[in-house]
Structure 1
Amino acid sequence: MKKTLYTVIKSIRTFLSEKFHQEDSRLPYFITVLVSLVIVVGGINLFIELTDTLKTDTLASYDTAITDYVLSFRNPMLTKYFVFVTDIGDVNGYLIVLSLFAFISWLVLKQWKYVLQATIVLALATFSNMALKRFIDRARPGIEHLVSVKTLSYPSGHAMSAMAFFGFLMYLISKLDIHRVLKYFLIFIFGLLILSIGISRIYLGVHFPSDIAGGFIAGFIWVVFCVLVFDLIELFRRDPNVN
């Protein structure tokens, strides 16, 4: 994405220079910031629209129908799988994943900044989720919980963190110069993990489907925002024309 973004900015700069016979080296970066804001604001608007419908009968009927359908698949084998993936999306799970990622970054990628960036994305998603839960104050579903929970319901912290953290890892993998099959395989695995973590919260009875949708939207907002900010910082650092 960095190369694509850089090419787009250079093209815009050339166009503006030819069009107005005067190049402002900072203008393309302002345009990039504007684009990022449009994406983030659009995502926030979608999140707010969903949040505004939490107490409506229409959303309640969808939540009930989807929950009943997911619960109809409950069996010992699936329960073990969803408990496992939901544990990956918990604090201890992320500590393990981050440790593995740090080791791989040190041994293979030789890029510690990726570990720092992934940690920042996860931290932003986690702390903002805690604030949103307190502000929205939605109770958990009143059905059997297969795992213990202590916090409020909306948006799902597991879904939000999974989308933000593993979504960002998918972006990083897309930039790596590795075999295409391996790249697509890893992206598929992380995508499947995000989806599994989201479904696990419904299956285990601790979240409404709308909680998962809200978490995914909020997590995706952080992915887009952080990717654009990180790339913009890198472009400012590398481009000698920017003051």
Structure 2
Amino acid sequence: MHARPYWLLPLLMLIVIAATISCGFSLTLNGPANFDAPILLWFRDNNDTARLAGLPWMTQFWLNMTWLGNTTPRLVIAGLAIFGLLLLRRGRGALFVAAVLVSGITLSTLIKGWVGRPRPQLVAHLDQVSSMSFPSGHALNSTLFYLAVTLIIAPLITHRTARWFLYGLAISSSLAIGISRVALGVHWPSDVLASWVIAYCWLGLWVMLAKHYWPKALT
């Protein structure tokens, strides 16, 4: 039985990323996906789409979630994580986190400028934005960053339940950050969905590269 070529899975991930970007171009040219508007409106008050539905504190909750995905807090947390890894003599792991973070920011910025999808105007924006809509930089970069840090830190934790808790916290945080962008009206749901797909594929590429060429970075 022949072994599966090493390059097959990375190639598949690159194809998925390319296909997702192609969907972004299609959405830009042809308009929102069928599920985009209904989901955006689901978060809003039926009588006033400038307000979120539900309890009064929901707006602040989603703003707090979005704050976790802002560039400054993410870079501060990244700096602390990298510094901590260096103190633990995990320099390779620190470099892995930095590489994933920088490449993710670069990738999302390039795709935004390339695809050029406008922000949704269906509901009032509850957060200030200036860049294009596809993909969501918050969703993409927070998913990459929080999961990359977890991949490096989790092996250092001896308690199995604590490791799974850390993975769950990273995944749930990145999901909440992505959802917050839709709740605040600054992204179409398809922007966020595409961001998660790209982020997981991009992180998968980095993990496979590290395992093949630099396995000690992940241990």
- TM-score band (shorter)? 0.7 to 0.9
- Relative to 1, partners in 2 of residues 1:36 and 1:146: Cα closer, same or farther, differing over 3 Å? same
Task: Deviation per CA, 1:201-224: give whole Å up to 9, x if none.
Answer: 011111000110111112112101
Query: Which of 153, 176, 199 is the matching residue for 2:156?
Result: 176
Q: How far did 1:186 drift?
A: 0.8
Query: Which of 78, 85, 91 is the matching residue for 2:71?
Result: 91
Query: Which of 60, 63, 70 is the matching residue for 2:36?
Result: 63
Q: Which has the larger radius of gyration?
A: 1
Query: Partners of 1:150 and 1:236 in 2: how far apart?
Result: 40
Q: What TM-score results when the alignment is normalised by the length of structure 2?
A: 0.84
Equivalent residue pairs, number: 208
Q: How far did 1:74 drift?
A: 5.0
Query: Partners of 1:160 and 1:215 in 2: how far apart?
Result: 5
Corresponding residue for residue 31 of structure 1: 5
- Relative to 1, partners in 2 of residues 1:171 and 1:236: Cα closer, same or farther, differing over 3 Å? closer
- Relative to 1, partners in 2 of residues 1:170 and 1:102: Cα closer, same or farther, differing over 3 Å? closer
Corresponding residue for residue 22 of structure 1: none
Corresponding residue for residue 133 of structure 2: 153
Q: How does 1:98-117 map to 2 (within 5 A)?
A: 98-107=78-87, 109-117=88-96
One-letter amino acid matched to 1:170: T
Task: Deviation per CA, 1:24-73: give whole Å up to 9, x if none.
Answer: xxxx8x932x134233233224414532541446x433100111113353
Corresponding residue for residue 99 of structure 2: 120
Corresponding residue for residue 78 of structure 1: 58
Percent identical among aligned pairs is 25
Q: Does residue 113 of structure 2 align to residue 134 of structure 1? A: yes
**Contact 1:155 1:211 survives alignment (8 Å):** yes
Q: How far did 1:168 drift?
A: 1.8
Corresponding residue for residue 186 of structure 1: 166
Q: How far did 1:94 drift?
A: 1.2
One-letter amino acid matched to 1:31: P
Query: Partners of 2:152 and 2:173 in 1: how far apart?
Result: 16
Task: Deviation per CA, 1:176-232: give whole Å up to 9, x if none.
Answer: 342011101111111111001100101111100011011111211210111111111
**Contact 2:119 2:132 survives alignment (8 Å):** yes
Query: Partners of 1:74 and 1:144 in 2: how far apart?
Result: 16
Query: Partners of 1:229 and 1:181 in 2: how far apart?
Result: 28
Query: Which of 181, 197, 209 is the matching residue for 1:201?
Result: 181
- Relative to 1, partners in 2 of residues 1:235 and 1:193: Cα closer, same or farther, differing over 3 Å? closer
Task: Deviation per CA, 1:134-185: give whole Å up to 9, x if none.
Answer: 1111111112111111111111111110121122223334433420111011
- Relative to 1, partners in 2 of residues 1:115 and 1:75: Cα closer, same or farther, differing over 3 Å? farther
**Contact 2:10 2:208 survives alignment (8 Å):** no
Structure 1 or 2: more helix by fraction:
1
**Contact 2:116 2:133 survives alignment (8 Å):** yes
Query: Which of 129, 147, 156 is the matching residue for 1:167?
Result: 147
One-letter amino acid matched to 2:165: F
**Contact 2:137 2:195 survives alignment (8 Å):** yes
For structure 2, the residue ranges without an aligned partner over 5 or more in a row are 46-52
Tell me the secondary structure at the aligned position of residue 169 of structure 1: helix
For structure 1, the residue ranges without an aligned partner over 5 or more in a row are 1-14, 17-27, 238-243
